[in-house]
Amino acid sequence: MKKLIFVLIVAVIGYQFFMGKQVAAPDLPQQLSLEPYAISSGNLVLVNRDIQLKQDPTNLAPIPADIAENVIVNSEFLLENQAIKPLKLLFDAATNDRIEHFIINSAYRSGKLQQQLYEKHGADYALPSGYSEHQTGLSLDIGSTAGKMENVDEGKWLEEHAADFGFILRYPEDKVDVTGINYEPWHFRYVGLPHSLIMKKQNFVLEEYITFLKKEQFFTTEVNDTTYFIQYTDNETTVNIPDTANYRVSGDNESGFIITSIIE
């Protein structure tokens, strides 16, 4: 085991490139049990036309009707609780930039509602139950009362700044061949920091990012003066991580886990 950890540490020294600053690789003395975590739960679960969500979200909360002064919330929309505070910070930042005409049109959808939409509108409009990101509770549709999102300041601002708050534009115009979904300038997905910023810098959509994580297994990066160690492990019951109490575990909804540790 010690030899394996040493090889891991030596190899990771070469993977410190994302944000352009060299960061020392950490020791990995802490053994973490993955048994309490589900592969189909967490901020980085991948759901698309080919990969079905295997578990419903467990920590949904209503988006406050008064979340920010520049947003209309005209229904009781639900979102995973950990995404609501970053969402408020995002809208507040937009207010500071005088971006003022947002409207939330959709967020969490139950499997029943998703299937109804699919049966009513067909595959060109909706995915069948189990294959929509809206069922994760991590995605929402943000529109503008000023016009279509691809044409208005709200859409342009979100595309530029959403990653600063942990959100990604899930279906960009130049990645249709990867996502299998037409350009949706209104559909934003919470993946959390630092993943959203890494994905933006590398021009990854979620499919590409998960593929990258599986290939590289681990890397160290510094984002906003915080150092992160990100690991991918496939079908393991335990994993060695840095000596920190500040870590998050997400399944990928396929076969493995991503562990994100803050080491500084």
* Residue with tokens 């810098």, as numbered in its chain: 201
Q: For residues 256 and 232, give the distance between their C-alpha atoms in angstroms, rounded to a whole number.
A: 7
Of the candidates 132, 136, 133, 203, which has an alpha carbon nearest to the alpha carbon of residue 163?
203
Q: Return the exposure string of 52-87: e unless at least 16 CB atoms fall within 10 Å of the residue's CB, then b.
A: bbeeebeeeebbeeebbebbebeeebbbbebbbebb
184 is annotated as an active-site residue: yes
Tell me which DSSP letter residue 95 carries. Answer: H
Q: At which residue do the structure tokens 């130049």 appear?
A: 174
Residue reference for tokens 């575990």: 249
Other C-beta atoms closer than 10 Å to the C-beta of 38 total: 17
Q: Which of 100, 150, 184, 254 is catalytic?
A: 184
Is 209:234 a contact under the CB 8 Å cutoff?
A: no
54 touches 40 (CB < 8 A): yes
The residue assigned the tokens 């209104």 is: 186
Cα first-last separation, the chain: 25
Question: Residue 264: which residues within 8 A CB-CB, separation 6 or more?
Answer: 222, 226, 227
C-alpha distances out from residue 237 to 12, 31, 241, 264, Å:
22, 10, 13, 26
Q: Which sequence positions are flagged as catalytic?
A: 184
